[in-house]
Amino acid sequence: MANSGHNYPIAARNPGATNYPFSIMKALVTGGGGFLGGAIVRRLRAREDAVRSYSRGDHPGLAQIGVEQIRGDLTDKDALTKAAAGCDVFFHVAAKAGVSGSNEEYARVNVLGTEHAIAACRTHKIARLVFTSSPSVTFDGTDQEGVNESAPYPTRFLAPYPLTKAAAERLVLAANGPDLATVALRPHLIWGPGDTQLVPRILERAKTGKLRLIENSGKKVDTTYIDNAALAHLLAADRLAPGAACAGKAYFISNGEPATMDEIVNGILAAAGLPPVTKKVSPTMAYAAGLLLEGWHGLFKSGEEPPLTRFVAKQLATAHWFDLTAARRDLGYAPEVTTKEGLERLAEFLKSLERK
């Protein structure tokens, strides 16, 4: 485990620098160098909270904004426990996401890693744990239209990612109690500048002519602009305490602007200056292609992400939008960047990449 050598920065708050009337946190963020983790740490630093990030790789941008970096794996209990020393809030953001890899790999990182995060909180008497979950923990392959948090976990999961995220979410919520308050956030389809998944995948496939939409009769899907997802995490941490309304609960998070996949994909393509995609395949064709590609990649391209899986095909063919009432009520969540503004910011970002 290597430490960046930075002193743990506890800056004096500049009251003019922030609108947050909360006391300074000493936060551990797992995956602080990632897409969502990065947005959370930038937001914490903007209001002068002290931040330590824990992940495997070196993320040089973190030191530049005064984030201490500890390198280690979620599966290494001792290293994670050491990294949490001196913190008063734990944002557990890192996970194995995506669609490739064995059940065991997902379970080790997502479930065992979360057990380690909970244990680290207990060892250091950290009283607040904010867990990044996923709406896929309630996905059973059917339409989700305006569902709220009463939606149950399915009896059968379609892929190891939602299976292990659901197991981790359950552990986090069960750990809630008088000494440790916990909350789980389920942001749906996060996108924006710095995206490591949705935006690059769409652009790469569009550029190689392989992008297809799935016919789904205009079913709607929620998405979450990156700043809104990060905001929700800080709001949850600020309100979290034993007995707080949000303690021990999970919340769906999104922009609150459901749109069709055609609108979402073509909005991202337009932000990149690319023409809209019009080619479509039927849900049955997409599911069959997902099955074939999973098999092909499993046999010949182990470790590489298949471009489509049965889980993704099902997701793309169904509605996914959520009732945000509980997040608005208990977290004070209100999306601060609209989808239109987010797309404008994404366009600026993509242009700035081209200029480099």
Ligand X SMILES: NC(=O)c1ccc[n+]([C@@H]2O[C@H](COP(=O)([O-])OP(=O)(O)OC[C@H]3O[C@@H](n4cnc5c(N)ncnc54)[C@H](OP(=O)(O)O)[C@@H]3O)[C@@H](O)[C@H]2O)c1
Beta bridge partners of 54: 30, 70
Q: Pick out residues in 115-174 that bind ligand X (CB under 6 A).
A: 132, 134, 165
Instruction: From 191, 323, 324, 194, select the one nearest 261 (Cα to Cα).
Output: 191
Residue type, 190: I
Which one-letter amino acid corresponds to residue 163?
L
Token reading at 279 = 């080619």
CA distance 141 to 287: 12
Q: Which residues, listed in sequence order, are joined to residue 252 by a DSSP beta bridge?
A: 186
Q: Binding residue for ligand X (CB under 6 A) from 84, 109, 211, 324?
A: 109
* Residues of span 191-210 touching ligand X by CB under 6 A: 196-197
Residues carrying an active site annotation: 161
Q: How many CB atoms lie within 10 A of CB 82?
A: 17
Tokens (6 digits) for 64: 């530049």
Question: Binders of ligand X among 16-75, rule CB under 6 A?
Answer: 30-31, 33-37, 55-57, 73-74
Q: Which is nearer to ligand X, 165 or 215 (CB)?
A: 165
Q: How far is the CB of 134 from ligand X (least distance, A)?
A: 4
The answer to whether residues 1 and 70 touch, using CB atoms and an 8 Å cutoff, is yes
Stretch of 141-149, 187-195, 233-241, 243-251 lying at the interface with ligand X (CB under 6 A): 187-195
Do 330 and 251 form a contact (C-beta atoms < 8 A)? yes
| Cα angle value 299/297/93 (rounded, 5°) | 125
Among 44, 84, 93, 250, binds ligand X (CB under 6 A): 93
Give the nearest distance from C-beta 250 to ligand X in angstroms. Answer: 12
Q: Which is nearer to ligand X, 43 or 96 (CB)?
A: 96
Binding mask 264-303 for ligand X (x = CB under 6 A): ----------------------------------------
Binding-site size, ligand X (CB under 6 A): 26
Binding site for ligand X (CB under 6 A): 30-31, 33-37, 55-57, 73-74, 93-97, 109, 132, 134, 165, 187, 189-190, 196-197
